[in-house]
Amino acid sequence: MDSNRTQAQRKQAVRDNIAGWLFTLPSTIVLLVFTFLPAFIVVYLSLFDTNLVGQMDFVGLANFRQLVTSGDFWGSVFRTLYFTVGSVPVAVAVSLLIAVLLNSKVRGRTFWRMGFFIPYITPLVATSIIWLYIFNPDYGMLNAALHAVGLPMSRWLTDTASAMPALILYSTWHDVGFAVIIFMAALSRVPTELLEAAQIDGASGWKTFWHVTWPMISPSTYFVVIIYTISAFKMFTQVEVLTQGGPVDATTTTGFYLYEQAFGQMHFGYASAVSIGLFVIIFLLTMLQRKVTGSKVFYG
Amino acid sequence: MTTMRRSVMWQRVNRVLLYTAITALFLAVVFPFYWMIVTSLQPQDAVFTVPPELWPKHPTFQNYIDAWNAAPWLRYFGNTFFVASASTLISLVTSSLAAFAFATINFKGRETLFNLVLSVMMIPTATTLIPNFLIIRTLGWFDTFYALIIPFAASVFRIFLLRQYFMSTPVELWEAAQIDGASRLLYFRSIALPLAKPAIVTIAINSFLGSWTSFLWPTVMTQSQDKQLIEVALNSFLGEKGQQWSQLAAASVFTTIPIILFFFVQRQFIEGIGGGGIKG
């Protein structure tokens, strides 16, 4: 009797093992081939000078030496940070303002929220095209509007000084809806008792916001800041459509630089080294996000 | 009494300010879409007017006809629809099977495998673009739909999300199903999967939109015109048409409309993001 049961159990265990591995097999294979394996190949390729179609010369760490010493990579990192510093505070401020407005008793909230969210889901190429027209220095809408209210006009995407601000303006417009949704969810989780208590103590709306709401939603703020920063380092499409990294290299951010070195210049070895540099940056940012949100979460 | 009337007045002022602020921000965000539509209805020479006309004086649909006839858009739509549907369907099957196993089957090496799968999440797609280009070429998949579908047939984030759902399904259900003689696959299909519907809907929308709006990957992995996806095709169209803004705007409108319609039908997408379910 007893041995019968263990035999049945053993049979069940074997069946479980087979079912478990069979069920996970398709996903595992795909992840191994297209994510895990590439992580090793990129390290291997970074040690070569290669165009992937014949030329394959081992160069040791020369690509990394070039990465660290030539200014191009750091230039792209600097421009990405410029993009981040220019876009993230504005995006956070605007999206928080929108979220606070929508969270007060406003009619037709679903409608407003949808409007603010639409740019985020619309494709980058299609919306970049219309902004290309809006940014046109000679007959574009933006200069016409600035002129109408007496503000100075700009060459926007065609000038090295204003191309990045234009790119920032477009990207902030496109991505702001994401933060609106995150902040709306965060604001709705702030306990109303706390807000009422502050009001009873005579705190003004402004004070209540800074001393109660703002600290309570800080995990979401960190989350939004880091997600935006990471996506700035990966950014490619709008740069390709709006500026192709130019004029000169004014908008060549790291993600675009990587693409340009690989598929534009065919420097696949060096571009692999850039990929690893990009990986390190994104890895550090992700760690920072985990550390920061992990220690200060108010998900209640 | 007067203080009360005063506070009522203040409230009214506040409400006016509130709606003014929301409307102003809303108009600023929505304006480019308005401008896209207006431009698409303008005769070509009208787009160079300074200052631009805020309302088309002589609206025309000719741009839509010209833009549509200038490229095989039906083919691009078909390609995109096929790739988006296929990768969504396949990844739903593979992810839900894996998630189900990780959540409910006690198999040897489960923890190790799950940790391995999770560690893959740390590798950003930007880093793997070059080696994947090499892998796709080695597999002979360059410039095929395989290159656009199979690499997206698995997703750690999706496995993780579905696993949460399957873990919250009561064990008693599985025990009851076993007593009724149901096989594991039958239980998976007819009980566990329907219970995870909210997650499946979120994932399906996410995946479909991801394929529809993809640009960098198809740019790198395809070449010939008959394999082109909609966003890549639109960018080529921009290259061909240069400054013919009314046709470009028309093409932007008709390639964006499916996304907007899709979005209005499936509002859950927003809810999914609000819950913190985000991963590019």
Please determine, for residue A283, whether its predicted confidence score (pLDDT) is greater than 50: yes
The answer to whether A225 faces chain B, any CB pair under 8 Å, is no
Check residue B271 and give its pLDDT.
55
B120: three-class secondary structure by DSSP: helix
A47: three-class secondary structure by DSSP: coil
Pick the more confident residue, B167 or B5: B167
Going by pLDDT thresholds of 50, 70 and 90, the confidence category of residue B279 is very low
| Mean per-residue pLDDT, A34-54 | 93
**Do residues B249 and A129 lie in contact, with contact meaning Cβ atoms separated by under 8 Å?**
yes
Check residue B274 and give its pLDDT.
47
Distance from CA of A139 to the nearest CA of B (A): 6
**Do residues A134 and B35 lie in contact, with contact meaning Cβ atoms separated by under 8 Å?**
yes
Check residue A4 and give its pLDDT.
65
Topology (CATH) of B72-274? MetI-like fold (1.10.3720)
Distance from CA of B228 to the nearest CA of A (A): 14
Q: What distance in Å separates the CA atoms of residue A39 and residue A276, rounded to the nearest whole number?
A: 9
A57: three-class secondary structure by DSSP: strand
Going by pLDDT thresholds of 50, 70 and 90, the confidence category of residue A87 is very high
**Do residues B87 and B152 lie in contact, with contact meaning Cβ atoms separated by under 8 Å?**
yes
Please determine, for residue A299, whether its predicted confidence score (pLDDT) is greater than 50: no
Cα–Cα nearest to B163, from B118, B224, B112: B118
Other CB atoms within 10 Å distance of the CB of residue A55? 12
User: Per the CB < 8 Å rule, is A125 touching B130?
Assistant: no
The answer to whether A45 faces chain B, any CB pair under 8 Å, is yes
For an interface test with A, the pick among B107, B214, B245, B255 (most A C-beta atoms closer than 10 Å) comes out as B107
Span of A60-64, B16-20, B130-134 with lowest mean pLDDT: B16-20
* Boundaries of every domain in chain A: 2-45, 65-295
User: Per the CB < 8 Å rule, is A134 touching B49?
Assistant: no
Tokens of B227: 């394999």
Q: What distance in Å separates the CA atoms of residue A63 and residue A107, rounded to the nearest whole number?
A: 58
Going by pLDDT thresholds of 50, 70 and 90, the confidence category of residue B183 is confident
Q: What rounded mean pLDDT belongs to chain B?
A: 88
Q: What is the pLDDT of residues A120-142, one digit of tens each?
A: 989 999 999 999 999 999 999 99
Q: Please give the DSSP secondary-structure letter assigned to residue A150.
A: T
For an interface test with A, the pick among B12, B270, B278 (most A C-beta atoms closer than 10 Å) comes out as B270
User: Per the CB < 8 Å rule, is A30 touching B101?
Assistant: no
The answer to whether A275 faces chain B, any CB pair under 8 Å, is yes
For an interface test with A, the pick among B73, B119, B127 (most A C-beta atoms closer than 10 Å) comes out as B127
- Which residue, chain included where needed, has tokens 């025309």? B60
Q: What distance in Å separates the CA atoms of residue B129 and residue A80, rounded to the nearest whole number?
A: 19
Q: What distance in Å separates the CA atoms of residue A29 and residue B100, rounded to the nearest whole number?
A: 17
Other CB atoms within 10 Å distance of the CB of residue B97? 22
Q: What distance in Å separates the CA atoms of residue A171 and residue A238, rounded to the nearest whole number?
A: 8
* Boundaries of every domain in chain B: 2-60, 72-274
Please determine, for residue B273, whether its predicted confidence score (pLDDT) is greater than 70: no
Other CB atoms within 10 Å distance of the CB of residue A66? 17
Check residue A133 and give its pLDDT.
94
Going by pLDDT thresholds of 50, 70 and 90, the confidence category of residue A90 is very high
**Do residues B59 and B42 lie in contact, with contact meaning Cβ atoms separated by under 8 Å?**
yes
Please determine, for residue B267, whether its predicted confidence score (pLDDT) is greater than 70: no
Please determine, for residue B153, whether its predicted confidence score (pLDDT) is greater than 50: yes
Distance from CA of B88 to the nearest CA of A (A): 13
Other CB atoms within 10 Å distance of the CB of residue B252? 29
Please determine, for residue B138, whether its predicted confidence score (pLDDT) is greater than 50: yes
B181: three-class secondary structure by DSSP: coil
CA dist list (Å): B11 to A46, A102, A208, B8, B233: 64, 16, 18, 5, 52
Tokens of B221: 């992995």
Q: Does domain A65-295 have CATH number 3.10.300.10?
A: no
Check residue B172 and give its pLDDT.
84
Note the pTM of the prediction, 2 decimals. Answer: 0.88
Q: Phi and psi dihedrals of A179, rounded to 5?
A: -70, -35
Q: What is the pLDDT of residues A189-222, one digit of tens each?
A: 888 888 888 888 887 778 888 888 898 998 889 8
Distance from CA of B100 to the nearest CA of A (A): 8
Q: What distance in Å separates the CA atoms of residue B21 and residue B32, rounded to the nearest whole number?
A: 18
Q: What is the pLDDT of residues B53-65, one digit of tens each?
A: 888 888 999 999 9
Q: Per-residue DSSP letters for A205-272? A: HHHHIIIIIHHHTHHHHHHHHHHHHHHHHH--HHHHHHTTT-STTTT--HHHHHHIIIIIT--HHHHH
* pLDDT above 70 as % of chain B: 92
Check residue A298 and give its pLDDT.
38
| Mean per-residue pLDDT, B211-239 | 94
Check residue B277 and give its pLDDT.
38
Tokens of A298: 């108010």
Q: What is the pLDDT of residues B61-96, one digit of tens each?
A: 999 999 999 999 999 999 999 999 999 999 999 999
Check residue A142 and give its pLDDT.
94
**Do residues A19 and B107 lie in contact, with contact meaning Cβ atoms separated by under 8 Å?**
yes
- Which residue, chain included where needed, has tokens 């908008």? A251
Q: What distance in Å separates the CA atoms of residue B23 and residue B10, rounded to the nearest whole number?
A: 20
Going by pLDDT thresholds of 50, 70 and 90, the confidence category of residue B269 is low
User: Per the CB < 8 Å rule, is A45 touching B113?
Assistant: no
Please determine, for residue B27, whether its predicted confidence score (pLDDT) is greater than 60: yes
Cis peptide before B51 (omega within 30 of 0): yes
DSSP H/E element including B188: none
- Which residue, chain included where needed, has tokens 């070039």? A66
Pick the more confident residue, A156 or A298: A156
Going by pLDDT thresholds of 50, 70 and 90, the confidence category of residue B97 is very high
Check residue B264 and give its pLDDT.
75
| Mean per-residue pLDDT, B173-193 | 85
Contacts of A176 in chain B (CB under 8 A): 29
Distance from CA of B27 to the nearest CA of A (A): 9
Q: What distance in Å separates the CA atoms of residue A6 and residue A8, rounded to the nearest whole number?
A: 5
Q: What distance in Å separates the CA atoms of residue A296 and residue A219, rounded to the nearest whole number?
A: 6
Please determine, for residue A27, whether its predicted confidence score (pLDDT) is greater than 80: yes
**In Å, how far from its chain's centre is CA A137?**
29
Span of A137-146, A246-255, B139-148, B175-184 with lowest mean pLDDT: B175-184
Other CB atoms within 10 Å distance of the CB of residue B272? 21
Q: What rounded mean pLDDT belongs to chain A?
A: 89
Q: What distance in Å separates the CA atoms of residue B259 and residue B208, rounded to the nearest whole number?
A: 10
User: Per the CB < 8 Å rule, is B127 touching A122?
Assistant: no
The two counts, helices (H) then strands (E), for chain B are: 15, 0
Q: What distance in Å separates the CA atoms of residue B73 and residue B194, rounded to the nearest whole number?
A: 37
Q: Please give the DSSP secondary-structure letter assigned to residue B71.
A: T
Q: Which amino acid is residue B248, in one-letter code?
A: L
